[in-house]
Structure 1
Amino acid sequence: MYIYLARNVDYYPFETICLLKVTRLPTFTRYLYRMSEKMQVWSYQIKFICFALWVSVFVVWLTSAVYMMIRILHDSTLALRRIKNFPMLMSTVRVVRACMVVGVTDLFNASKFLMAFEVVTIMIGNVLQIVILAKVMHIFQKRSTSRNKYNNLLEEISEYMKYKELPSTLKDKVFRYIEFKFQKHIIKEEDILNTLSSILKQDILTHRCQKMVERVAFFKGLPTQVLLRIVTKLRSEIFLPNDVIVLAGYAGYAMYFIYSGTVAVYTNNGKEICHLEDGSHFGEIALVINEPRVATVIAVRACELFKLSRKDFQEAIEPFPDLNKRIRLSALSRLENTLQMMSTDERQVHIDTEVETDETTTDAFSL
């Protein structure tokens, strides 16, 4: 945006052409919106900044118009001297006073043309004040709508738990779940998705989950059509810290993709094997083999997982019977390797335990 600060009285008609550079403001606002998308900045902040810029440009234009009127109509040496010393400042003060409807008594000492001009400016100022007030209220109302819904939901849940006389530990867990799920803003995701076409919903799910699905070993090489069918079957679930997601020894019927969060994997004996984080997966063997779980998975911190059930997976690959057979063979091989690895770990744990026992016995005899 170019701000007009001319001081030469002789060339003001040509200098005012520079004001046309403010037409670049729409391009600037588009860049602001693109930058906000990249930086994931709150959109209403950008709207407020853009609106403030447009109001500033409007004031600059009015100021320039008043400045030109003063230069054209004021012939006195005193007026010209004031203009030369404070060219834009005097005009800006005049415009702001007119827009804010203050200093109207100055109109009686002005020329008829300036009087008419300032009356129009006062009317425009009244309209501008209404527009500014309405825009600011709209921006902050939009901002607070989702937060108000969130607060109302918390109040309803609090009343429900109070009525049911739930213990404080369970109340805290419910509140932590709600806070993690909604992030203090209520967004009706299901309603939004229901308004979209099936193709758009599929595109959104694909954008969120396709990379996680492609990381699964026996999903690699599957046709794109099959991967898309699998992605559309995923369902989101949330787990809080210390929640047991799967339990060793119990039948499994689904696999999980970690969208965000951290989980810990344990053996039957309670030994921690590893941690899995964003983008990882576990339980894929349960999609094709009806075997008990060989490990326990517990959430370390709040997690959002995508769940793929065996039933949904079988429906997704039903049109491709050859794929089902290949995936089953791959899963059997993976299960065998997993059992061998876990048995090796258990033997190592047993050996370490015996060594510790022998050392303890030796120390006892030495005493």
Structure 2
Amino acid sequence: MDLMAFVPYSMTAPTVQHEPRVEHVCEVSPKEDPLTRTIPGSSAWSRIRRWFLGTRITSRLHPFTRWCLKSTRAIDYEISHHLKSHPYMIHPFSSFRIFWESVMTLFIIAVLLITPVFLTFYFDECAKWYMYNHAIDAMLICDIIIRFFTGHYDSRTQLVILDPRVVASKYLRDFFIVDALSVLPLEFIVVLTDSMWYLTSLNLLKILRIRTVIVYSRKLYHVYRINFHLYKIAEMGIIIVVSVHWAACIEYYLPLVVDKIAGQKDPSWIRSPYMEKRETKYKIYLTCINRAIIALIGAAQYLDVSAPEDIIYNLILSIFGFLGFVYLLARILQLMTTFHSTNKRHLKLIQQLQQYMTYKELPHSLQRRLLSYYNYRNKKGFERDKIIINHVSPYLREKLLLHSYLRLLNNVRLFGHLPQLVVTQLISSVCSEIFMPNDALVRAGTRGDALYFIASGTVAVYNNVGKEIYHMEDGAYFGELALVIEDEHWIASVIAIENCEIYILSRSDFQHALAPYPDLLAHLQNVALARLEQTPLLKKDHEPDALPSFENVNISSIKAKKRNGMARLDE
């Protein structure tokens, strides 16, 4: 549930005085467009090719993009990897997939409604609908071909698979046969040999495409942000309508097939005096719907059921109707339970937030910011992770924390000089914080007292005169010197550009863990100073020209402070 829906945006909302904060207006030169680099040129053909390629790569607006890739840097890497390795593949989070899945969902629903009508009410007039059927098959074949060129997201490895061989292998193992059965090109044989009329019955296999509707609609539910309960009701409604429609058409189609094979000898209901009065196809269809529903609910038929095919088919419909009723009842109960529990949990949170915001008389802009924070926090599952970690055994807690902060341990060079016992103690002291766009992580001139590691997101770095220097993204960190040297001040301000998850380790926790090892602390100070002499603070390897001035870091004074501190320890 989106909490933002509960606080409407108002351009005329009253404002109150609050602490000013830095609004990020990007001054860094934009990155080179990867599409222009891949397809250079300014001709109309080049622009068309770039547009078409742009529809096949990762869309930044796709909801799964932010959910699975998490940050701008991860998205940029995914686009670069796609263009370099498999430019002819279609990304599963692309705008093309949104368009294609939307079109195919509506198209297949229409096919599932039209196909049984053609088969039943144009049983002896196949030539009238052959061309329509060929057009339908052509679209379904296009869908199969596109599936071979569309990557997929592997939730186990959390990677997008674009290798055509892996994609094709997975599709062939999964649902290729099911999809291919619905487009067998046997109509050409029917046209050539009139005696093989029964091959048209294979079009009934198009009902297997109901699986495609369900799969595509579940993706579109996230794309278009449809209410979960409305989506489930619509999904069940489509399945019920399609099922009853097919049951009604087959109710009339089955006796026609028997007549074609055995001749008009058995007492089928379609030759009853009642049906002789039903002259139009529309009236016949209404009767079929009526018979199908009666059979599905297990009631008594008002027309004779004496032919063997009628008895068998109505028995099958009764069994499926009972099983379908049980399944539908279970889904409704599950939906009501989910609705109740979800509403109860979110309603409690919304009430608390509304009471707090009303009591504090917060402006609308701040209310929306607060709700955005809770949306992001709920999506990341912070409360769930905290509950799990706090309730497992100490051994499991240590393993979970080491796994959670693995990138922090691998990227920060200072930790490579620490024994495992100290690392384990430090990891338990790391806290994870969320910073919203334009939140300040640190400000120039303030005292540095922690190490900051960017788990996901992008931050902007400003020098001491307020000029934006560069961006830092996933896996970057700063504040290493603040862990081992006291009374140092930040030489730059760092502002969040997007939603960021930041790991923070304070100097007090770091030095408390190292208190039993005074020689180790002195060694780490030497390591940090040596690295500082080689690399300015907050340096970016691939942008050496956009660095803070070295004059802002007085290494000689730091070394003097360190010597004085060591002298006091000796005394």
TM-score by length of 1: 0.60
Match of 1:282 among 475, 478, 489: 478
Larger-gyration structure (1/2): 1
What is the CA–CA distance in structure 2 between the aligned matches of 1:319 and 1:133, rounded to whole Å? 65
Q: Does 1:110 align with 2:317?
A: no
Corresponding residue for residue 307 of structure 1: 504
Match of 1:130 among 322, 326, 331: 326
Q: Does 1:325 align with 2:486?
A: no
Counterpart of 2:489 in 1: which secondary structure? coil
How far did residue 76 of structure 1 move?
A: 7.5
Shift in CA distance, 97/173, structure 1 to aligned 2, threshold 3 Å: closer
* Contact 1:263–1:297, Cα closer than 8 Å, also in 2: no
| Equivalent residue runs for 1:168-207 within 5 Å | 168-183=364-379, 188-207=384-403
What is the alpha-carbon root mean square deviation over aligned residues? 5.9
Name the one with the larger helix percent: 1
What is the CA–CA distance in structure 1 between the aligned matches of 2:340 and 2:297, rounded to whole Å? 31
Corresponding residue for residue 353 of structure 2: 157
Corresponding residue for residue 63 of structure 1: none
Q: Which whole-Å deviations, capped at 9, do the CAs of 1:1-53 have from their partners, x for residues lacking one?
A: 689x9xxxxxxxxxxxxxxxxxxxxxx9xxx9xxx9xxxxx9x99xx99xx99
Corresponding residue for residue 296 of structure 1: 492
Q: Decide which moves more: 211-220 or 111-120.
A: 111-120
What is the CA–CA distance in structure 1 between the aligned matches of 2:381 and 2:292, rounded to whole Å? 39
Corresponding residue for residue 435 of structure 2: 239
Corresponding residue for residue 549 of structure 2: 342
* Contact 1:289–1:331, Cα closer than 8 Å, also in 2: no
Shift in CA distance, 323/95, structure 1 to aligned 2, threshold 3 Å: farther
Amino acid at match of 2:480: E
Counterpart of 2:471 in 1: which secondary structure? strand
Counterpart of 2:453 in 1: which secondary structure? strand
Q: Which whole-Å deviations, capped at 9, do the CAs of 1:287-331 have from their partners, x for residues lacking one?
A: 222122232333232321111122333454566665433222212
What is the CA–CA distance in structure 1 between the aligned matches of 2:302 and 2:394, rounded to whole Å? 65
Counterpart of 2:549 in 1: which secondary structure? helix
Q: Decide which moves more: 247-256 or 328-337.
A: 328-337
What is the CA–CA distance in structure 1 between the aligned matches of 2:492 and 2:336, rounded to whole Å? 47
Amino acid at match of 2:471: H
Q: Does 1:258 align with 2:427?
A: no
What is the CA–CA distance in structure 2 between the aligned matches of 1:335 and 1:110, rounded to whole Å? 94
What is the CA–CA distance in structure 1 between the aligned matches of 2:317 and 2:421, rounded to whole Å? 64
* Contact 1:149–1:186, Cα closer than 8 Å, also in 2: no
Counterpart of 1:156 in 2: which secondary structure? helix
Counterpart of 2:470 in 1: which secondary structure? strand
Shift in CA distance, 313/131, structure 1 to aligned 2, threshold 3 Å: same
What is the CA–CA distance in structure 1 between the aligned matches of 2:380 and 2:452, rounded to whole Å? 26
Corresponding residue for residue 95 of structure 2: none
What is the CA–CA distance in structure 1 between the aligned matches of 2:465 and 2:300, rounded to whole Å? 86
How far did residue 146 of structure 1 move?
A: 4.7
Counterpart of 1:166 in 2: which secondary structure? coil
What is the CA–CA distance in structure 2 between the aligned matches of 1:257 and 1:305, rounded to whole Å? 6
* Contact 2:373–2:436, Cα closer than 8 Å, also in 1: yes
How far did residue 282 of structure 1 move?
A: 1.0
What is the CA–CA distance in structure 1 between the aligned matches of 2:380 and 2:454, rounded to whole Å? 22
Corresponding residue for residue 210 of structure 1: 406
Shift in CA distance, 159/116, structure 1 to aligned 2, threshold 3 Å: same
* Contact 1:264–1:274, Cα closer than 8 Å, also in 2: yes
Q: Which whole-Å deviations, capped at 9, do the CAs of 1:72-129 have from their partners, x for residues lacking one?
A: xx9886459x9xxxxxxxxx99996566327731685337998699568636623431
Shift in CA distance, 116/341, structure 1 to aligned 2, threshold 3 Å: closer
How far did residue 237 of structure 1 move?
A: 0.9
Shift in CA distance, 148/279, structure 1 to aligned 2, threshold 3 Å: farther
Shift in CA distance, 282/117, structure 1 to aligned 2, threshold 3 Å: same
* Contact 1:98–1:121, Cα closer than 8 Å, also in 2: no
Counterpart of 2:301 in 1: which secondary structure? helix
Shift in CA distance, 221/139, structure 1 to aligned 2, threshold 3 Å: farther
What is the CA–CA distance in structure 2 between the aligned matches of 1:109 and 1:172, rounded to whole Å? 64
What is the CA–CA distance in structure 2 between the aligned matches of 1:95 and 1:231, rounded to whole Å? 68
What is the CA–CA distance in structure 1 between the aligned matches of 2:313 and 2:389, rounded to whole Å? 53
Amino acid at match of 1:311: S
Q: Decide which moves more: 194-203 or 125-134.
A: 194-203
What is the CA–CA distance in structure 2 between the aligned matches of 1:75 and 1:94, rounded to whole Å? 26
Counterpart of 1:265 in 2: which secondary structure? strand
* Contact 1:147–1:186, Cα closer than 8 Å, also in 2: no
Task: Point out where structure 2 has 5 or more consecutive residues left out of the alignment.
Answer: 1-177, 185-210, 220-224, 247-253, 271-287, 538-546, 554-571
Amino acid at match of 1:248: A
How far did residue 257 of structure 1 move?
A: 1.0
Task: Point out where structure 1 has 5 or more consecutive residues left out of the alignment.
Answer: 6-27, 37-41, 61-67, 83-91, 347-367
Give the aligned length.
323
Q: Which whole-Å deviations, capped at 9, do the CAs of 1:126-147 have from their partners, x for residues lacking one?
A: 3431322322552585488557
* Contact 2:295–2:315, Cα closer than 8 Å, also in 1: no
Counterpart of 1:255 in 2: which secondary structure? strand
Shift in CA distance, 96/145, structure 1 to aligned 2, threshold 3 Å: farther
